[in-house]
Amino acid sequence: MKLLTIDDSKTIRRVIAGIGGILGFDVLEAENGVAGLEILQDLGQEINLILLDWNMPGMNGLEVLKSIKANPRIKNIPVMMVTTEGEREYIIKAIQAGAVHYQTKPFSQEEMAARIMEALGVGG
């Protein structure tokens, strides 16, 4: 099982990699939207879940999400937004664009682990 975290913060990628590792995932990391889309272009068929930050320099998370959902090869990979943006309007926009779950920062290990399993349809 492979998980891709797209976040400009190395700190957050490290936290997610740790939680993903505990859950038995092979965690891939991208520091921005373009790098994330490149990984998806190469390895999209192998990735089971994408964790996507919203506020990133260059392409923001919503733009990345829309790109993913517009690409028939990768549009079925579940995407969870992981962001400090906790307002209702942001959550609605993300869900409308195709995100399956939404986690605000900061989060505990237990919270994130539960959200990952829920996003994959095996928890909750």
> With the CA atoms of 94, 2, 104 and 18 taken in that order, what torsion angle do they form, in degrees rounded to the nearest 10?
-170
Tokens 């290990």: give the residue. Answer: 109
Q: Which amino acid is at 46?
A: E
Helix axes 88-96, 61-69, angle to 10 degrees: 20
Residue 8 or 118 having the CB closest to other proteins: 8
Region binding other proteins by CB under 8 A among candidate stretches 36-44, 64-72, 80-88, 112-120? 80-88
Residue 19 or 47 having the CB closest to other proteins: 19
Tokens 């090869």: give the residue. Answer: 73
Instruction: Provide the pairing of β-strand 101-104 with 26-30.
Output: unpaired
Residue 41 or 55 having the CB closest to other proteins: 55
Judged by CB under 8 A, the residue of 108, 110, 122, 124 near other proteins is 108
Contact 55, 9 (CB under 8 A): no
Q: Is 8 among the residues that bind other proteins (CB under 8 A)?
A: yes
Judged by CB under 8 A, the residue of 56, 59, 79, 94 near other proteins is 56
Region binding other proteins by CB under 8 A among candidate stretches 12-20, 42-50, 67-75, 112-120? 12-20
Helix (H, G, I), strand (E, B) or coil at 113: helix
Smallest gap from Cβ 13 to other proteins, in A, equals: 9
Judged by CB under 8 A, the residue of 24, 72, 87, 122 near other proteins is 87
